[in-house]
Amino acid sequence: MKKIYLVNTSEYPTKGTHYLMSMKFVNGFSLYGLEAYDLKNFEEIEDSEDQIFLMCDNFYDQRSSNWMDYFDYLANKFQKTTWIFWTFHNVLNNHYKEKDFPFKKYIFTGEYYRDPDFSYFGEHFREYVNHPNYVSLPFAASINPNDIDYILSQRTDEYDCGFSGCNYKEEWSRKLEQKYNCFIHYWPPFLDESERIRNAFLGSKICLGFNSDDNIKNGLPTERVFEGIAYGCVVLTDCEMAVDATDGVAVYVSDYTDLEKKVEYYLNNEEARLEKQKQGKLFAKSKGTYYSVIENFLKTINKIYNES
């Protein structure tokens, strides 16, 4: 395997935060020697056993009346290529309950919900995650684990607390800003990636690992939890399941009072903060980056090749 492409054509666009998350995942394959690219036009690419296409469902089937014809065309054109389909549970349920999925070499994937509410997602989502070609995709840090020691040496600890992302728990962040030296940035607009990492993580002693209510309910810790740990922050999070997901490195806060209490504790207890940083470094190196996540995908791809 030599190349991986994120599908981002006019017919199958990958936009906004989906694009940012997908590219971090795709770039994880580069740690195993694959070249990573944006795919803008299928007609410019030949079929090859040496490549992977990642396609994210953005309700393409609802945008075009002849969607399935073109989808079948792609399956026929790229029979040697390995496809990774992200969150295609609705496509399978809407179009392939009574017919075979047309692609020859493929993996289904999606965010790793540790406690999914199937009454919320639908029973077809249960079928999707139990598909024999399904590989779960836990969020992680987009860092080479071999670079973590050097990255930690670049920490500045300029801010007490840092957050960059959607406006989750905004009222908590605004209260903290009044009392502590915080870096808070809500999207949009997106920050330059180097600025985001420099200020929200390397420059912050504490990372505010806040999540959407739906993700908390379904046990999906946000990517910033794993990024905060890998970049050396103490991560305080409103997602209780993030504690188990990080082997106890992340710290759960139940409400604003609890949050402020733990901010005070780690800002005034340097030994405890550095101990969390040490634990986080070990976790990140062993399982907290996309290097570890990609390993499971490559094993499944090899399995598909051996069976085909």
* 18 and 83 part of one domain: yes
* 124 and 256 part of one domain: no
* 200 and 274 part of one domain: yes
The token pair that represents 6 in the structure block: 């994120």
Report the Cα–Cα distance between both ends of the chain, in Å, rounded: 15
* 201 and 121 part of one domain: no
Res. 304: pLDDT tops 80: no
Give the pLDDT of residue 308.
Answer: 64
* 265 and 195 part of one domain: yes
Each residue of 200-253: pLDDT tens digit? 999 999 999 999 999 999 999 999 999 999 999 999 999 999 999 999 999 999
Alpha helix (H) residue ranges in the chain: 16-30, 67-77, 89-95, 118-121, 123-129, 148-153, 170-179, 193-196, 213-217, 223-230, 241-245, 256-268, 270-287, 290-307
Nearest Cα to Cα of residue 305 among 80, 123, 94, 45: 80
The token pair that represents 171 in the structure block: 């009222």
The CATH code of the domain that includes 273 is: 3.40.50.2000
* 131 and 215 part of one domain: no
Each residue of 126-137: pLDDT tens digit? 999 999 999 999
* 103 and 11 part of one domain: yes
Q: How far is CA 106 from CA 29, 46, 57, 302, in A?
A: 16, 17, 14, 11
How many angstroms separate the CA atoms of 77 and 45, rounded? 10
The CATH code of the domain that includes 114 is: 3.40.50
How many domains does the chain divide into? 2
Each residue of 102-113: pLDDT tens digit? 999 999 999 999
* 161 and 123 part of one domain: no
Q: Does the reported pTM lie above 0.85?
A: yes
* 27 and 115 part of one domain: yes
Give the pLDDT of residue 129.
Answer: 96
Res. 154: pLDDT tops 90: yes
Name residue 123's amino acid. E
* 123 and 218 part of one domain: no
User: Which structural domain range is residue 168 located in?
Assistant: 145-287
* 134 and 207 part of one domain: no
* 115 and 157 part of one domain: no
Give the pLDDT of residue 57.
Answer: 84
What letter would DSSP give residue 199?
A: I
Query: Which of 11-15, 29-33, 140-144 has the weakest average pLDDT?
Result: 11-15
Cβ atoms within 10 Å of 303's Cβ, excluding its own: 13
Residues 6+ apart with CB under 8 A from 74: 42
Each residue of 164-203: pLDDT tens digit? 999 999 999 999 999 999 999 998 898 999 999 999 999 9
